[in-house]
Amino acid sequence: MSAALAASRRTPGSSIVPRIVIYGLLIFFALIYLIPFFVMLVTSLKTMPEIQQGNMLALPKAPTIDPWIRAWGEACVGLTCEGIHGYFWNSIKMVVPAVAISTILGALNGYVLTKWRFKGHKLVFGLMLFACFIPFQAVLLPMATVLGEFGQIGKALTNATGFAFGFGNPTVNLVFVHVVYGLGFTTLFFRNYYEAFPTELVKAAMVDGASFFQIFRRVLLPNSLPIIVVTVIYQFTNIWNDFLFASAYAGSGDVMPMTVALNNVVNTSTGVVEYNVNMAAAMIAAMPTLLVYVLAGRYFVRGLMAGAVKG
């Protein structure tokens, strides 16, 4: 009765003010966050004379996509003017296999650590979890040594067999680096998700004679879509936006990924800095991750929550 009486005494507008304050703050911070994106977009659609007038927030008077065309096909990188389209595909060739391999291995690790537990599995998981907190800079020199050894092995195998092996190739090197560095995170995601998965289903499949990989392929994977989406988005974003590993191991020339090429586009400008071309190149580089979050952002949040509650 007291609760009902208290509720009846509330005025209709008592909850409107806090809601206005909350939404007002959200809109304010959203605008602050989106202003750089807005400046990049409108600048990439302006001509240089209009940019030199100095009003960054002004809409373009005569919108043009010429800066986008030049950034994609004619923006100078180093001593060439091939644009960034080739480097865009270099990133695609690196990101797709790295994301696929790290996701599959993370799923297998999570499966083993939750449904096929072995002696010392907690220690193994703890070590993999610890790997998530190792900074990029700490692994630069050890990884360079490992990649150098792989290059020597690749040359020896090529000389012995006559076939060209991928060891030592910059793209293969970056795939290997990102798989190794991301394996701790993918294992963590899948392990937490599979921890809440009913073990009875796995045991029932064992009774029916299903093998290790049959259980993984027919029981766990069909029910793993939420966490697969989380892992793919996380890995794709990190690998696509990586600059440190790419600049350290990709070298220079036509094999550079997008982030390194974009840096060179901005830093090799001579004479008048073409801000519209630079902004267009940056927008092109950011487009894949932006599209991934726009199209699959809600599934990312659902996937994170899917394994949060057990039972």
C-alpha pair distances (Å), 133 with each of 5, 129, 185, 264: 53, 8, 10, 30
pLDDT tens track for 40-74: 999 999 988 888 887 888 888 888 988 898 888 75
DSSP state of 251: -
Q: How many CB atoms lie within 10 A of CB 297?
A: 12
> How far, in Å, CA of 205 to CA of 215, rounded?
7
Report residue 103's pLDDT band, with 50, 70 and 90 as the boundaries: very high
Residue the block writes with tokens 């220079």 = 252
Size of the chain in residues: 311
Residue-averaged pLDDT of the chain: 82
Q: What is the CATH architecture assignment of 83-306?
A: Orthogonal Bundle (1.10)
Q: Looking at the predicted structure, is the pLDDT value of residue 162 above 90?
A: no
Which of 150 and 45 is assigned the larger pLDDT? 45
Report residue 226's pLDDT band, with 50, 70 and 90 as the boundaries: confident
221-235 mean pLDDT: 90
Q: Looking at the predicted structure, is the pLDDT value of residue 3 above 60?
A: no
Is the pTM higher than 0.75? yes
Q: Which two tokens stand for residue 118?
A: 């072995």
95-109 mean pLDDT: 94
Which of 117 and 297 is assigned the larger pLDDT? 117
Residues 6+ apart with CB under 8 A from 13: none
Q: Which two tokens stand for residue 170?
A: 């910059």
Three-state DSSP state, 250: coil
> How far, in Å, CA of 180 to CA of 101, rounded?
10
Q: Looking at the predicted structure, is the pLDDT value of residue 156 above 70?
A: yes
DSSP state of 272: S
**Least confident range of 91-100, 159-168, 218-227, 252-261:** 159-168
Which of 154 and 110 is assigned the larger pLDDT? 110
Q: Percent of the chain having pLDDT more than 70?
A: 84
Report residue 146's pLDDT band, with 50, 70 and 90 as the boundaries: confident
Q: Looking at the predicted structure, is the pLDDT value of residue 75 above 50?
A: no
Contact 66/49 with Cβ under 8 angstroms?
A: no
Residues 6+ apart with CB under 8 A from 226: 193, 299, 302, 303, 306
pLDDT of res. 1: 46
Which of 104 and 310 is assigned the larger pLDDT? 104
C-alpha pair distances (Å), 213 with each of 109, 204, 252: 12, 15, 41
**Class of residue 137 by CB neighbours under 10 A (exposed 0-12, middle 13-18, buried 19+):** exposed
Q: Looking at the predicted structure, is the pLDDT value of residue 155 above 90?
A: no
265-286 mean pLDDT: 79
Report residue 178's pLDDT band, with 50, 70 and 90 as the boundaries: very high
Q: Which two tokens stand for residue 256?
A: 């550079």
Q: Looking at the predicted structure, is the pLDDT value of residue 157 above 60?
A: yes
Q: Looking at the predicted structure, is the pLDDT value of residue 76 above 50?
A: no
**Class of residue 83 by CB neighbours under 10 A (exposed 0-12, middle 13-18, buried 19+):** buried
| DSSP, residue by residue, 204-219 | HHHHTT--HHHHIIII
Residues 6+ apart with CB under 8 A from 149: none
Domain residue ranges in the chain: 1-64, 83-306
From the list 179, 171, 177, the residue with the least C-alpha distance to 256 is 171
pLDDT of res. 95: 94
Phi and psi torsions of 117, nearest 5°: -65, 145
